[in-house]
Structure 1
C-alpha cells in the first residue's frame, strides 16, 4: 500500500494556503445528486494486516477453478515458472524504451533474439519488435501493404470471413477513414475454408492490393495456403498471413507457402508465455520480406559493431519520425509490449524447437481426441475441413443454453459462435491445448452429454 506522509497538520496548512476550509470544498463542482454523501456506515473500520489477509483468503475460497476449453484467439498453455520469474526482474520489468543504445544493450539484445526467433518460426526474413496485439498488427499489415503498393490503382484488401471477428472489426475501425476498402471473401459453408472460387473477379490488373490468409482460420480449419499464395503471386496481390505462433512449430511456415511465400505475416504472441489474464496484456508480432522492411511499423533492432569493432545492438532502419512525428511515421503506435515480448523470448528459449513442437502436437492430438469422443454422443464437427487445435461442433440445441449448463459443472465448454453469426447459434468453438488431460476430456464429454439432455427436456 502507498505510504502517505502528510499529517493532519500538513493537510490543514495546505488547505489554508489555497483558501479552502475543507477537502470537500475541492469537489464542490460535482452536483450533489452525483455524490455518495458520507461514507460513514458504508466503509467498515480499518483492519490490521493480519485481519485483511485472513479476509482476502476467505473470499478467495469462493472462487471456483474452471476447466477451460475456450480458445477463439486466446489460448491456455502451460507457462514454465521460470518465465515470469525472469521477466519480472528489475532489469526487464522497469526497463525504459531503448533509445540510448549505450545504456540499453541488455534490452536491445533480448529484442534482437526475439526477432530472430520469430523470423525462424514464420520463415520470414525480418521481424519487428512487437505491436499492441494481433488485431492491431493485422491493421498495421493492411496499412503497410497499401504503402508498398502506393503506385497501385486500388486500395482494396480481400478479407476472408474466417478471420477472427474481433480482428476484422479492429482493422475496419483503423482503416475505414483512410480510403481503404475491405472486401469480404466468404467461407465455404461445408469445408469452412476460404471459397477460392470467389477470387476470380479479382484477377484483373490492379483489382486488389492484398489478400489476408489465416492459418489456421478462426474456426480452426486449415486453409489451402499453397494454392492461395500462388494465386496472389500470379495476380500481383500481396499476401498477408495471419498465424498462431504455436502452430508454426508444426505447420509449414508462411515464408514457404506456395512458390514464393507470404509477403507479410502477423499474429498474436499470447500463446508464447502470456497468461490469459482477462484479455491482456498480449502483443502483436509482424514479420515480412526484407525488401519491405522500410515500410514495417514498430521498432526494429539490428546488430552492428562499435568504434572498437565490438558487437552491439541498436534501433535501426527507422527515422526518428517513427517516434515523434505522426505524419511522417509508418505507424502512430510507439509503445510496444516489451515486457510480454521478454516473457515470450524466455518462453521460447526454455522450450526450444522441440518443446514448441510437442506443445503443438499435443494440442492437435487432444482436440482431435475430444472431437472423436463427442462424436460418440452424436455431436459432429460443423465443417468437413481439416482442423488443428480448435474445432467447431454442431449441437442439437442452442449453444448458449448448453454452455450455461456446462459452466455449472465447472467447465468452460467453448465459444458460442452465435455471437459471431446468428446462423451458428447451435455451434461452439472448442479448443483443447496441451494443458488438458484425459480426465479433463472425460469430464467435458460427460458434462456435454448432460447439458444436451437437459436442453432437450426443457
Structure 2
C-alpha cells in the first residue's frame, strides 16, 4: 500500500499556490523521452521478496565490477586501496551515529575529527584554512564560483576547457537560477593545457577563473601565470583537484597563487561506491574565510583551561537568516570526511608521498607500454597517474570490446563529449597502486588485438 499523506484537495491547493496546473508541470525540465507514461510493462505486477532478490542477483552478475579484472577507469573517481582500519574506525558508535555537533560539550570527538580533517585539507591544498567538508567535488566547485562572486561583486566566471564536464554541467545547472555567466570551452588533444587562451578570456567583469589540476586529460600545468593574470584583473583563481593523491607528488595549488582550492576527496578512504556518497574538499586564503561556505571547526580552551573544540564559523541556511547564508548545503558528508581523515592519518606525509610515487611510476609504465601498440599515441606531456591516449579508431566501441574481454580500459572522451568528433579517439587511462604490471600487459595485448 502506498503512503500518500496528502489528500487530492491538499495537492490541488498546493499546486494552485505555486501556479502549476498539474503535478506533471513540475517535471517540465525532464525530457519527455525520459518520462514514463505508465507502468513499466515488462515488469510483473507483483512478485515475492525472494523472487525479486534472486532476479536482482542474476542481473548484478552481468556487471563487470572494479575488482573483477584489470581496471583503468578514472576521470574523477579512482580505485585506491582503502585500509581495513578505515572501515573499522568509522563504524565505531561514537562516529557512525554522530551528526551535526550542535552541542559541543557532547560532540568533542566529532569536532576534533573535523578540526584534524580541516588541518589535513589545508596543508594538502597549500591554503590557510579549510572547511569541515562539503557534498562532493562538483558542488564544492560551484560553491567556490558563487563565493568568488560575493567577494568580487561580479558574476562572470571563466571555466577552463580542462575542467571535468560533469563539474561544468553542475555549474551550468546552478547558474540558471543565479544569473551567473559561465564562459566554457572544450579541450583539445594537446600535450599541455592552453593557458594563454584561458588568460585571454579574463576581463574586468570576471569574478574567477576555474582550472582543474591535473585536468580532465591528466595534464599538469603551472598555475602561477594564470594566478597572476587573474589577480591583475582583480579576479580570483579557483583550482579544482579531483585526485588528491597527486598532491603527494606535485606542487599544491595554494602555493602557486590559487585563492580557493576545492576538490573531491574520494581517493582517500572512500571507495568507488557506485558514484557516491563522496566528500567535497574546500579551502581558501585567510582573508576570504568569512565568505567560505559550510562550517569551520576551531580549537579553544574551556573555563578550566582544557583544550576543546567548537563550531567557530557556521554560515549555512539552517543557522542564520536564509538570505544571509553563504551556502544552502545542509550537510558535510561527515562520515566520508572521517574516512578521508583516517586514511590521511594512517599515511602521514611520508606515506602520501610514497603512495604518489607508486601511482606515478605505474602510470609511466602503462603509458610506455600502451604506446607500443600500433596506432596508439600519448597525448600528455606531464601527468601524474592519469593520461590520455589517442587511438586510431573511435574509443567508445574499443572500450566496449575490451569490457567483453573482462577489463575496464578507461574512459572514452566520446562518452564525456559526445558532440565533439575531434575527441572521439581519445581514451583517458588511470593507474593506481591497485594496478599490477600484469594488468598493464593484459590491457596492451587486448588493445592490440581489438585495434588490429
Q: TM-score range by the shorter chain?
A: 0.7 to 0.9
Q: Measured at CA, do residues 267 and 379 of structure 1 come closer, stay the same or move farther in structure 2, by a change above 3 Å?
A: farther
The alpha carbon displacement at 1:68 in A equals: 1.2
Matching residue of 2:6: none
The alpha carbon displacement at 1:124 in A equals: 0.4
Structure with greater Cα Rg: 1
Matches within 5 A, 1:329-344: 329-344=325-340
Matching residue of 1:127: 130
Other structure's SS at 2:295 match: coil
Distance 2:136 2:49 in 1: 41
The alpha carbon displacement at 1:233 in A equals: 2.5
- TM-score scaled to structure 1, two decimals? 0.83
Pick one of 72, 76, 80 that aligns with 2:79.
Answer: 76
Distance 1:135 1:105 in 2: 30
Pick one of 380, 396, 402 that aligns with 2:398.
Answer: 402
The alpha carbon displacement at 1:227 in A equals: 1.6
- After the TM superposition, which of the residue ranges 59-68 and 243-252 deviates more from structure 2? 59-68
* Conserved 8 A contact 1:393-1:428: yes
Matches within 5 A, 1:17-56: 42-43=47-48
1:313 aligns with 2:312: no
Gap runs ≥5 in structure 1: 1-32, 454-458
Matching residue of 2:121: 118
Q: Measured at CA, do residues 124 and 381 of structure 1 come closer, stay the same or move farther in structure 2, by a change above 3 Å?
A: farther
Matching residue of 2:5: none
* 1:122-161 deviations in Å (ceiling 9; x for gaps): 11000001111100000000000011112xxx42111011
Matches within 5 A, 1:370-385: 370-381=366-377, 383-385=379-381
The alpha carbon displacement at 1:365 in A equals: 1.4
Distance 1:198 1:308 in 2: 55
Distance 1:44 1:226 in 2: 59
1:92 aligns with 2:95: yes
Matching residue of 1:26: none
Q: Measured at CA, do residues 41 and 178 of structure 1 come closer, stay the same or move farther in structure 2, by a change above 3 Å?
A: closer
Q: Measured at CA, do residues 63 and 157 of structure 1 come closer, stay the same or move farther in structure 2, by a change above 3 Å?
A: closer
Matching residue of 1:21: none
Please tell me the root mean square deviation across aligned C-alpha atoms, in Å.
2.7
* 1:156-192 deviations in Å (ceiling 9; x for gaps): 1110111000000001111232121111256555334
Distance 1:406 1:251 in 2: 32
Distance 1:44 1:207 in 2: 59
The alpha carbon displacement at 1:221 in A equals: 0.4
**Count of residue correspondences:** 408
Distance 1:432 1:363 in 2: 6
1:423 aligns with 2:427: no
- TM-score scaled to structure 2, two decimals? 0.84
* Conserved 8 A contact 1:371-1:380: no
* Conserved 8 A contact 1:194-1:223: no
Other structure's SS at 2:383 match: coil
* Conserved 8 A contact 2:317-2:327: no
Gap runs ≥5 in structure 2: 1-37
Matching residue of 1:251: 250
